[in-house]
Amino acid sequence: TDIVEPICRETKKSYAQTQNPRGLKIQAFITHSWDENFKELVKSLKEVFGSSFHKPNLWICAFALIQGDYDTIKKQVEGGDNSLEASPFVLALQKAESFVVLRNSNTNLYSRIWCVCELVFAIRFKLVPNKTMIAGPNTFSNEKISCTDAGAFNPKDKVKIMDYLSRTVGVDKVNGMIEGFQK
């Protein structure tokens, strides 16, 4: 926040846009909980891509979205027409070549509804399971969690995401993937 937020505030752009004004092809979409230690996040990324000759372009929401106050982020997350399909997460997933699940030692990734949403669309866009990589500590491997238990800062987000999930891929399929990712 000490680096990214001031740059976003000054330029009115995401950190990624300030570094790559014309954008980059999304090779890997990174799903993470926002609650991890930054060093742990970097270590997990190195676990996945450290031995890759060509380092991929990563889509990480903390760098791809304009960081700032609640209203700034809310406006971006909701997308232009308030549909899930217009959210930046879904638009990025639609263009991504792979899906990277970054577990952490602080929070079960799938206790957060937007991480569940990312998983749902990764399934829909056929990134899961064959184009999925998993990294980070398996701290929650023994925890039984259902996507229906995921929390949201905005309760309306949970309603919208769970409605979409139920109409498309289904709770059982999502829970099966979550269980596999936690091992």
108 contacts 143 by C-beta, under 8 angstroms: yes
Q: Tell me, what's the pLDDT at 82? A: 76
pLDDT at 76: 82
Residue 160: CA count within 13 A, CB half-sphere: 16
DSSP state of 135: E
Residue 44 and residue 35: Cα distance in Å, rounded? 14
Instruction: Say how far apart CA 70 and CA 91 lie, in whole Å.
Output: 21
Of the chain, the end-to-end C-alpha distance in Å amounts to 31
Cβ(81)–Cβ(121) below 8 Å: no
Token pair belonging to 172: 């059982």
- C-alpha pair distances (Å), 9 with each of 26, 54, 68, 88, 138: 24, 32, 7, 19, 36
Mean pLDDT of the chain: 93
pTM: 0.93
In this model, does residue 168 exceed pLDDT 80?
yes
Distance, CA of 116 to CA of 20 (rounded, Å):
28
Instruction: Tell me how far apart the alpha carbons of residues 143 and 183 are, in angstroms, rounded to a whole number.
Output: 10
Report the DSSP beta bridge partners of residue 99: 29, 132
Give 116-165 pLDDT, tens digit per residue: 999 999 999 999 999 999 999 999 999 999 999 999 988 999 999 999 99
Q: Specify the pairing of strand 132-135 against strand 98-102.
A: parallel
